[in-house]
Amino acid sequence: MKKIVRITIKILEKIKKRINQALIKLKFLLYQMEFGEREDDIYVVTYPKSGTTLMQMMLYQLTTLGNMDFGHINDVSPWIRNDALMGKPPKNLPSPRTIKTHDFYKSFEFGAKGRFIYVHRDGKDCAVSNWYQEISYRTTDLNFEEYLKQFLSQDYNWFTFTIGWFENKKKLPILYLHYEDLIHNFEESINKICQFLNIDPEKVDMKRVHERTRLDFMKKHEEKFGDRPSKAEKIYDEFIRKGRSGEGVKYFPENFTKAFDKAYLKYIYPLEQKITF
């Protein structure tokens, strides 16, 4: 009898999970129908902690007058999946709209409207940056090796995310940029973005764009970029951290380094060689 009860409970849990997944999918679909698609939409595509907010700010400064009177960057560059799940109504924004997404490539249909800017960051650096956010905002006692096991084994991981966007089987219009270039080769990156989006650099205040996308400026205005606190006593000031590259090499234990490098050479490197950055 106990065995039958356990089996029944497992079956019911699976059914509940599938129903919840279906409801989430329906909620986002209804949101998308209201939000709509435009030919000049600009999607900022990243695996989390890959320069998402920096690219949002770059595009906001390039496509508007760059006023800092918004409450949060998501007010002017929405993360629509999160807004849908939170039950927020679609924002009525002028064109071109800059839209944040961490979605898998398969989430977009053939012939999807808009253009896509994919910011690629080294997977090891992503792991370190995501771990810091996890211990700063949620699980304060989570050690790095335990987090790495989760980072590499979960369905939504850096490898599966990157492969789909690198393959680009649906031939979406994608500009690929290295995160490191956004930091160290600012002018070259801005020129590539302007060319991709048909923006005349002569009509943009590049001094303003550069000043307002600097790490020190964004850190100073972190309340406009970081996660919003759910508890008044919690201080959320580690969303924008250092913007460094190469940290992963220092943090990864040897056994994880070997496994990561082996998978990278097998799955990512061959695709990366076919992409123009």
Tell me, yes or no, whether 212 lies in a domain: yes
145 in the same domain as 24 = no
Tell me, yes or no, whether 233 lies in a domain: yes
Tell me, yes or no, whether 165 lies in a domain: yes
Tell me, yes or no, whether 152 lies in a domain: yes
67's enclosing H/E stretch is none
109 in the same domain as 25 = no
143 in the same domain as 27 = no
Cα 109 from chain centre: 19
Boundaries of domain holding 25: 1-35
Q: How many domains are there within the chain?
A: 2
222 in the same domain as 110 = yes
84 in the same domain as 179 = yes
- 3-state secondary structure labels for all residues of 206-250: HHHHHHHCCHHHHHHCHHHCCCCCCCCCCCCCCCCCCCCCCHHHH
| CA atoms of 268 and 277, how far apart (whole Å) | 14
168 in the same domain as 122 = yes
147 in the same domain as 27 = no
Which residues, other chains included, contact 102 with Cβ-Cβ below 8 Å and sequence gap of 6+? 45, 46, 47, 48, 52, 79, 81, 161
113 in the same domain as 62 = yes
pLDDT tens digits in sequence order for the chain, 277 residues long: 666 767 777 777 777 778 877 778 888 889 999 999 999 999 999 999 999 999 999 999 999 999 999 999 999 999 999 999 999 999 999 999 999 999 999 999 998 999 999 999 999 999 999 998 888 777 777 889 999 998 988 899 999 999 999 999 999 999 999 999 998 999 999 999 999 999 999 999 999 999 999 989 998 888 898 775 554 444 444 444 455 666 777 889 899 999 999 999 999 999 999 999 9
Tell me, yes or no, whether 252 lies in a domain: yes
Q: Are 198 and 260 in contact, with CB atoms under 8 Å apart?
A: no
| CA atoms of 204 and 192, how far apart (whole Å) | 14
Tell me, yes or no, whether 277 lies in a domain: no
128 in the same domain as 29 = no
16 in the same domain as 136 = no
Tell me, yes or no, whether 200 lies in a domain: yes
97 in the same domain as 205 = yes
251 in the same domain as 125 = yes
